[in-house]
Structure 1
Amino acid sequence: MLWWFLPVLAVVSLGLTWMLRRYALASSLIDVPNARSSHTVPTPRGGGVAIVLSFLAALPVLGLMDRMPWEGVWAFLGAGALVAVLGFLDDHGHIAARWRLLGHFTAAFWVLFWLGGLAPVSIFGFILELGPLGYALAALYLVWMLNLYNFMDGIDGIASVEAVCVCLSIALLYSIGGAFDLLWGPMLLAFSVLGFLYWNFPPAKIFMGDAGSGFLGITLAALSLQGGWSSSVYFWAWLILLGVFIVDATVTLVRRLIRGEKVYEAHRSHGYQFASRRYGRHLPVTLVTGLINVVWLLPIAYLVVKTGLDGLTGVLIAYVPLVLLALKFRAGEAEVR
């Protein structure tokens, strides 16, 4: 049994984050608050590299122990490393948006090469096989998840808590559904994030940085595609569990596009950012994000996996209140200063 490996991984991530914090302080790799920031205290950044190194180093161990197929190992290793390196370089300087986007799509196509694209999807009892169109949609999905996770990493702990809740929830559903061969990917990621979360929990002592947030986004999306090849219900379950981030980021993007704003420019108009300013602290928003995952999204995902609830119906049930919540907290509205 390799379960002992998980707490060890969390400790490794914890130690790596401590070292990265010392490096960031020594190298003046500091996020200084500005008009677009949601924080008020200069804070080291780049701690997400600890998540990347912990997770990627553990993958070959799973492959050698026959706990994960090598196709998955290579998919997560290649795409995760590329996205993390791009984010690390961007954290230390600046990479033009077009080159970042090219790198993101390269990572997406790497994932699709190893995992086989988008699995057939069950909708209202019909099996939808999209063929080449499925590859294109899956590539867009991977790149969107990568970037939205970056967008949603704007207050202390929220991206870490989301990743831990989603990964542990899907691991529970895999166990209930008997898909034990899929357990290790999300469990590794959850424990890699837990070590970092100790330092990132509000009030954060270090930020994740683009290297960590982009890596989490594409890895979670790739894990969801992998799950879909086992059963369509697992892909739907992933979409439900990721609902808080998907809805807030998408509603914000759509409303900014309608106003004609440059969506690639930094801003503070996500629903969670308005909420953190309304309550004057990051902690309540981060905790409620985890609470929504556990008490609302997980039960709906369970119904899809175990009771035969249609996946698309489950997504709609899960998302409608989240859309209303995003609108209540003004997601995508212009900020009045």
Structure 2
Amino acid sequence: MERFAPLLLIVLAAGLAFVLCLVLRPLMMRYALARPNARSSHRTPTPQGGGIAVLAGAFLALNLALVLIPMEANAKQGLVLAMAAAALLALVGAWDDIRPLSPGLRLPLQVFCVGIVVFYAAPEIRLLPDALPLWAERGLALIAGVWFVNLVNFIDGIDWITLAGLVPLTGAVALAGGYGVVDPATSLLAAALLGGLLGFAPFNKPVARIFLGDVGSLPLGLLGAYLLYRLAGTGALTAALILPLYHVMDSTITLFRRLARSEKIWQAHRSHFYQQATDNGFKVIEIVAQVALLNLCLIGLAAVTIALPGFWVQLTCLTAALALTGALLRRFSRKRARR
């Protein structure tokens, strides 16, 4: 039973999320329509809030696993706290979807939710004990977590692109649990999220019938950061840096470019590389396919760093990951060559 638990969780969470999308879509049509704006790639009002189905499907399946599968008390507590923080952040996202929050209110709420994960859901993790005091490492983890929450939200601008990033990530972490790289609780969380995303995928395929909304992208960013944090805590820091590299580089480079141009970074825009790609002649399905293919390559490089922990292997794989990601960003930023 325990051996096949991740696979069963994937199937159960996918089924629940799919059914919930069907049930909730009429309500989303009525109360949560996303209308096109300066940032949008869609042209017609589309219901948002699919993240509710993803999280509910994943959490229902995961709570069943918590009841049926023996688990250490600390591991169970960490999962419960991570789910609670994600649920709270989902409420923040739902509020923002219906009535946009000011950055001055939204950011402190995000910091609070990420803080629950960093300080209480995974208090035992130390990444750089010989280089930084505990308070400094926790502070950096908090900043990185808040940034990851936001960058997942920033990237969620065209159909399937969040799935192209998070499906490989959650799948890789779930698989890592099967090889004993991460603890079983982390593997089960990854499997549940993977299932929830797969159940949502048919409704978000281009042209999407439902969007995730902030109610989905924000907590999924938090849980994705939590998975990466736990992976890094096993000693696989390079792998944790490699896996989300497309999302991190696209958002971070775009942020610094906008700051250099003195733009108001909290306002809607179309400066991300994947958005440039849509303007440069790439179809949405081509963009997400290339991002997904890159992420599969990044999984391979991350796996090598785990299997071969030598310094030069780590450096070589990280350099290769940066080069591959940079090449795709460059491709997206240029006009597509006519055939």
| TM-score normalized with structure 2 length | 0.89
- The residue type paired with residue 264 of structure 1 is W
Conservation of the 8 A alpha-carbon contact between 1:120 and 1:128: no
Matches of 1:312 and 1:216, distance apart in 2: 29
2:92 is matched with 86
Per the TM alignment, residue 118 of structure 1 is displaced from its structure 2 partner at its CA by 5.0
2:257 is matched with 255
Q: Are 2:33 and 1:30 equivalent residues in the alignment?
A: yes
Matches of 1:196 and 1:272, distance apart in 2: 21
Per the TM alignment, residue 180 of structure 1 is displaced from its structure 2 partner at its CA by 5.4
Conservation of the 8 A alpha-carbon contact between 1:117 and 1:135: no
2:123 is matched with 116
Matches of 1:32 and 1:4, distance apart in 2: 37
Conservation of the 8 A alpha-carbon contact between 1:38 and 1:155: yes
Corresponding residue pairs, total: 323
Pairing of 1:153-172 with structure 2 (within 5 A): 153-172=156-175
CA deviation string 1:161-210 (max 9, x = no partner): 21111111232334345545242121111111110111011121111100
Per the TM alignment, residue 117 of structure 1 is displaced from its structure 2 partner at its CA by 6.7
Cα distance change on mapping 1:25 and 1:194 into 2, 3 Å: same
Matches of 1:159 and 1:324, distance apart in 2: 20
Conservation of the 8 A alpha-carbon contact between 1:174 and 1:180: yes
2:42 is matched with 39
Conservation of the 8 A alpha-carbon contact between 2:50 and 2:211: yes
Q: Secondary structure at the match of 1:17?
A: helix
Matches of 2:134 and 2:64, distance apart in 1: 33
Conservation of the 8 A alpha-carbon contact between 1:47 and 1:212: yes
Cα distance change on mapping 1:66 and 1:315 into 2, 3 Å: farther
Stretches of structure 1 lacking an aligned partner (at least 5 in a row): 332-337
Matches of 1:178 and 1:78, distance apart in 2: 25
Conservation of the 8 A alpha-carbon contact between 1:117 and 1:138: no
Of the structure 1 ranges 37-46 and 273-282, higher mean CA displacement relative to structure 2 is found in 273-282
RMSD: 2.1
Matches of 1:57 and 1:312, distance apart in 2: 40
Conservation of the 8 A alpha-carbon contact between 1:149 and 1:214: yes
The one of 99, 104, 107 aligned to 1:101 = 107
- The residue type paired with residue 153 of structure 2 is N
CA deviation string 1:218-266 (max 9, x = no partner): 100011112233x111x43222111111111111111111111111111
Matches of 1:279 and 1:9, distance apart in 2: 36
The one of 274, 277, 281 aligned to 1:275 = 277
Stretches of structure 2 lacking an aligned partner (at least 5 in a row): 335-339
Q: Secondary structure at the match of 1:183?
A: helix
1:335 is matched with none
- The residue type paired with residue 205 of structure 2 is F
| TM-score normalized with structure 1 length | 0.89
1:265 is matched with 267
CA deviation string 1:21-72 (max 9, x = no partner): 1111133x21222333111222111111111212233333333323571232
Conservation of the 8 A alpha-carbon contact between 2:168 and 2:295: yes
Pairing of 1:184-199 with structure 2 (within 5 A): 184-199=188-203
- The residue type paired with residue 95 of structure 1 is L
Conservation of the 8 A alpha-carbon contact between 1:158 and 1:286: yes
The one of 52, 62, 77 aligned to 1:71 = 77
Cα distance change on mapping 1:73 and 1:176 into 2, 3 Å: closer
Conservation of the 8 A alpha-carbon contact between 1:58 and 1:188: yes
Matches of 1:289 and 1:327, distance apart in 2: 13
Conservation of the 8 A alpha-carbon contact between 1:60 and 1:73: no
